[in-house]
Amino acid sequence: MNTIIREYSLESGKTIKILSGDITREIVDAIVNAANAYLQHGGGVAGAISRLGGPLIQEESDRWVKKYGPVQHKFPAYTTGGELPCRYIIHAVGPVWGEGNEDEKLADAIHGSLVLADKLNLNTISFPAISTGVYRFPVQRAVRIILKEFLSYFEIFPSTSLKHIRLVMFDEETLAVSLEAIDEVLENESIQ
């Protein structure tokens, strides 16, 4: 079971929640998968999503890449949720630490995912800490970027269909490292 660790309400009525748990158990309109450009869901978050969501997710991913080519940071792909409790999976490609322009690429992946969620007319979406696993992006730095993109999106697009954004931390170590960055970003924005 996923546990809400922090909850922030914006004046607009929209919320950002920080959770500890498993993104594959999120009952939301869409979850975001930390994907690679070819949507080969072998390990990490992608592997768990593919295993638990069933073979349809990989089949749809293969069709996407065949039709559109490799997924870019700014333009994530999407598939159905397969056997997961979400309607869609948005496949966002985060940067590998050390490849250059990592902050910009991560911000693009988050922003692109939110734009796609809006195009799909979604109300709720859950993100993992993209790029902080095998791609080795420093956790606190990534979390700051991710949260700033959430806040920026709500500010730039006040009429977005999105009402609730959730950031799900899979393990206690990632959560512990993230809490300082989370409080710094969200509390400095005077959010309740």
pLDDT tens, residue by residue, 114-158: 999 999 999 999 999 999 988 899 999 999 999 999 999 999 999
Q: What would the CATH number be for the domain defined by 3-188?
A: 3.40.220.10
- Digit-coded pLDDT (tens) for 55-84: 999 999 999 999 999 999 999 999 999 999
Q: What is the pTM of this model?
A: 0.94
Q: How far apart are alpha carbons 10 and 100 in whole angstroms?
A: 33
Cβ atoms of 184 and 144 closer than 8 Å: yes
